[in-house]
Amino acid sequence: MPNQKIYFDHSATAPVDPEVFKAMAPFFSEIFGNASSIHGFGQAAQTAVDEAREAVAEFLGAKTNEVIFTSGATESDNLVILGLAKPGEQIITSKIEHPAILEACREMEKRGAEVTYLGVDAQGLVSLAELQKAIKAETRLVSIMYVNNEIGTIQPIAKIGEMIKELNQTRKEKIYFHTDAVQAANYCEMNVNKLGVDLMSLSAHKIYGPKGIGALYRRSGTPLKPIQFGGHQEAGLRPGTLNVPGIIGLGKAVELISQDKKNLGEIRKLRDYLIEEILKIIPKAQVNGDLKNRAPNNAHFSFYGVEGESLLLLLDQRGIAVSTGSACSSGSLEPSHVLMALGLNPLLAHGSLRITLGKFNTKKEIDRLIEVLPGIVEKLRKMSPLK
Amino acid sequence: MQYSAEVMKHFTNPHNQGQISDADAIGEVGNPLCGDMMKIYLKVDRLPLAADRLEDKIVDIKFETLGCAAAIACSSILTDMAKGKNLKDAFKIEKSDIVKGLGDLPPVKVHCSILASDGLKLAIKEYLEKQGVLDQYPEIKNLSLPECFHE
């Protein structure tokens, strides 16, 4: 058992589901055609891409021509932020977005757009009232993430969608609503009409699909300019040869989500058990982020008087993979921008640990973590000058 | 970002970790808000015949550190390097010696080695102060160290 590797970092990436892998396999060497070619090789690929596009459209309750395949959520996010608002217009987003949104917004500020970064409450939730207050005549785009990648909090996307729809009825210039739904796709309502979103970013590798492929949902009529040039693919919005195996993988991955949805209760049960036990066994520990409005696979702890990276490495030596904050920010010295936006004491922010479960995790694996973690926290606390 | 085998060795089984209850001097650096905090304890053998207190010898040294693997590994190797040295030589341990001793450090973690060498320097300064001779060493007396290495 000690040699058994345990993976608890599904918000960083998830393994490719064997069924997804099986679906993709023929599209490397057998059905390898360029989907843009008119000959048989190309058409075989095109047919498969069409089917995958239908699967994604169905998953979102959208039309097929509203699905744009991209290289992943970073590209989808960039396409929205850089391709919609013009200089002089306003973008509203939150302080706890993924860097793919925040860094693109900073670029838009340089290009003359105004960006408002909404704060969140101590539970990590955006306030509707505050959003409404920030909206003005120049507002062109609202981008709020669906599920936060660090603390797993679920933002009230449907309520925001409803509010924006209502405001749009009396506005001269429409406000478009985007959500980065990367971390939500496994667990939450994804129907774009129920959510009232005009744009939505997706990534395959967080939903047991391959890396390097994602999608952007764009409601018909939403103005968007491409950010790269050189082809007609995806209605000119995302030129470049289609990543056929990746697209097939994404199509299969969204199909599997509806089958897997019945298992969500299991993940939640394991997660709740983990949180309960850890808080019971380890003193001076806390969970960050709202417990109710939260993805069922996310547990995010702070342990007083220890540093997250040290925890991560000692757990790794025992064969358990977790994360501090997010994978993207490891290697940076700053405490997580998400935890700081929550108003967390920097000392606690540095001592944070993210555990994100996946559909293949078992209770036995959770028990192993519960067995190992207290000793590691104690070892590091003994080393610390803070008592 | 990847740590060298030597960093992982020191991090997993740090040397000289703990407190010295009757320490002759303690150097404390860092700041919990930065994420790194280090405390260096010294036990010094006072040579009765020596006129220069920097000739006194470190007979025991221990550390307590709150921080990442690099901070813990730097503390550990620093104590190895300083143990048995006289204060004059110990004061000369610089970040480059620590980085070299550890095989290398990722660039974002080099500040941890500065923290460790600063911790020792502060402990030596406190020792001289307690001996009432700090005024004879203006270079050490005027030591100014950053509180936090974040920009």
Q: What is the CATH number of domain B5-46+55-141?
A: 3.90.1010.10
CB B56 within 8 Å of CB B46 = yes
Chain B residue with the nearest C-alpha to that of A309: B68
Q: How do A6-7 and A320-321 pair as beta strands?
A: parallel
For testing the chain B interface, which of A307, A330, A332, A377 should be mutated: the one with the most B CBs within 10 Å?
A307
Interface contact B50, partner A, CB < 8 A: no
Q: What is the pLDDT of residues A3-47, one digit of tens each?
A: 589 999 999 999 999 999 999 999 999 999 999 999 999 999 999
Q: What is the pLDDT of residues A283-297, one digit of tens each?
A: 999 999 999 999 999
Interface contact B39, partner A, CB < 8 A: yes
Across the interface, whether the CB atoms of B108 and A347 are under 8 A apart is answered no
Instruction: Rounding to the nearest 10 degrees, give the CA dihedral for residues B37, B43, B46, B51.
Output: -20
Distance CA A93, CA A114 (A): 11
Question: Which range (A91-100, A223-232, A262-271, A287-296) has the least confidence?
Answer: A262-271
Domain ranges (residues) in chain A: 6-15+263-383, 18-259
Apex B90 CA angle, B87 and B93, nearest 5? 155
Across the interface, whether the CB atoms of B69 and A309 are under 8 A apart is answered yes
What's the average model confidence in pLDDT over A255-269?
88
- What are the average pLDDT values for consecutive 10-residue runs of chain B, which has 151 residues? 93 97 95 83 95 96 94 96 97 95 90 91 96 94 70 37
| Catalytic-role residue among A128, A188, A264, A328 | A328
ipTM, interface predicted TM-score of the complex: 0.90
Distance CA A176, CA B148 (A): 43
Distance CA B11, CA B34 (A): 20
Min distance A298 CA to chain B CA atoms (Å): 23
Active site residue B68: no
Token code pair at residue B101: 């001793």
Q: What is the pLDDT of residues A142-152, one digit of tens each?
A: 999 999 999 99
Active site residue A188: no
Across the interface, whether the CB atoms of B14 and A310 are under 8 A apart is answered no
User: What's the confidence (pLDDT) of residue A261?
Assistant: 79
Interface contact A307, partner B, CB < 8 A: yes
Q: Is the pLDDT of residue A240 over 60?
A: yes
Q: Is the pLDDT of residue A334 over 80?
A: no
- CB contacts < 8 Å between A and B, how many? 63
User: What's the confidence (pLDDT) of residue A128?
Assistant: 96
Q: In B, which residues are within 8 Å of A314 by CB distance?
A: 12
Token code pair at residue B6: 């030597």
**What ranges in A25-98 are assigned the alpha helix state H?**
26-29, 40-60, 73-84
Domain ranges (residues) in chain B: 5-46+55-141
Class of domain A18-259: alpha beta
Interface contact A241, partner B, CB < 8 A: no
User: What's the confidence (pLDDT) of residue A3?
Assistant: 57
Q: In B, which residues are within 8 Å of A385 by CB distance?
A: 28, 37-39, 64-66
Chain B residue with the nearest C-alpha to that of A352: B35
Q: Return the number of other C-beta atoms located less than 10 Å from residue B39's C-beta.
A: 23
Distance CA A178, CA A3 (A): 44
User: What's the confidence (pLDDT) of residue A1?
Assistant: 46
Structure confidence at residue A332 as a pLDDT band (50, 70, 90)? low
Distance CA B136, CA A97 (A): 55
Min distance A25 CA to chain B CA atoms (Å): 32
Across the interface, whether the CB atoms of A334 and B111 are under 8 A apart is answered no
Q: In B, which residues are within 8 Å of A333 by CB distance?
A: 34-35, 108, 111, 149-150
Across the interface, whether the CB atoms of A310 and B111 are under 8 A apart is answered no
Of the candidates A330, A335, A383, the beta carbon closest to that of B35 is on: A335
Q: Which helix (H) or strand (E) holds A129?
A: helix A128-134
Distance CA A208, CA B23 (A): 56
Q: What is the CATH number of domain A6-15+263-383?
A: 3.90.1150.10
Of the candidates B28, B65, B108, the beta carbon closest to that of A384 is on: B65
Of the candidates B64, B68, B150, the beta carbon closest to that of A310 is on: B68
CB B63 within 8 Å of CB B40 = yes
